[in-house]
């Protein structure tokens, strides 16, 4: 059990980003109308509306599950390309929210999306642990 916890804690940024992406996809999968009905998603609906809210969420879920599989089995061919695909989706989503905000739809989604994208870049660092005693 300790070995599993160490494995997860060493990759906590990647697991957080991946599980968060799956959860966000699940939110849209089970609340399909959000993309159409919420003004904050107006630009995102114009961009992704052709696939619908259910499939919009499914994209996050499938990519997240593939990345999770790559994380668990340490497959670099799944981890890195899927990370960049998810990062691209979060940046596009942030841009959509920002354009909707500039257009007058009050929302903070652009801030959250860009923070998620920015914090996820720590996934690329080889060593994200803090050395004990370092101040």
Residue at token pair 């905000």:
101
> Rounded to whole angstroms, how far apart are CA atoms 54 and 95?
21
Any domain includes 18: yes
Domains contained in the chain, number:
1
- pLDDT of 26-51, one tens digit each? 999 999 898 888 889 888 888 887 77
Any domain includes 26: yes
Any domain includes 116: yes
Any domain includes 129: no
Any domain includes 54: yes
Any domain includes 70: yes
Of the candidates 135, 132, 96, which has an alpha carbon nearest to the alpha carbon of residue 112?
96
> Rounded to whole angstroms, how far apart are CA atoms 129 and 75?
21
Model confidence, pTM: 0.86
- pLDDT of 92-126, one tens digit each? 999 999 999 999 999 999 999 999 999 999 888 75
Any domain includes 66: yes
Any domain includes 131: no
Average pLDDT over all residues of the chain: 89
**Structural domain of 110:** 2-124
């Amino acid at each position: 059990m300790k070995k599993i916890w160490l494995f997860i804690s060493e990759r906590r940024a990647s697991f957080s980003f991946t599980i968060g992406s799956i959860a966000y996809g699940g939110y849209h999968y089970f609340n399909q109308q959000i993309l159409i009905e919420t003004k904050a998603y107006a630009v995102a609906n114009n961009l992704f509306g052709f696939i619908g809210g259910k499939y919009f969420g499914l994209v996050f879920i499938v990519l997240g599950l593939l990345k999770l599989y790559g994380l668990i089995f340490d497959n670099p061919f799944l981890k890195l390309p899927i990370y960049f695909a998810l990062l691209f989706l979060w940046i596009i989503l942030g841009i959509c929210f920002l354009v909707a905000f500039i257009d007058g739809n009050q929302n903070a989604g652009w801030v959250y999306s860009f923070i998620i994208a920015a914090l996820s870049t720590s996934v690329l660092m080889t060593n994200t642990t803090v050395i004990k005693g370092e101040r």
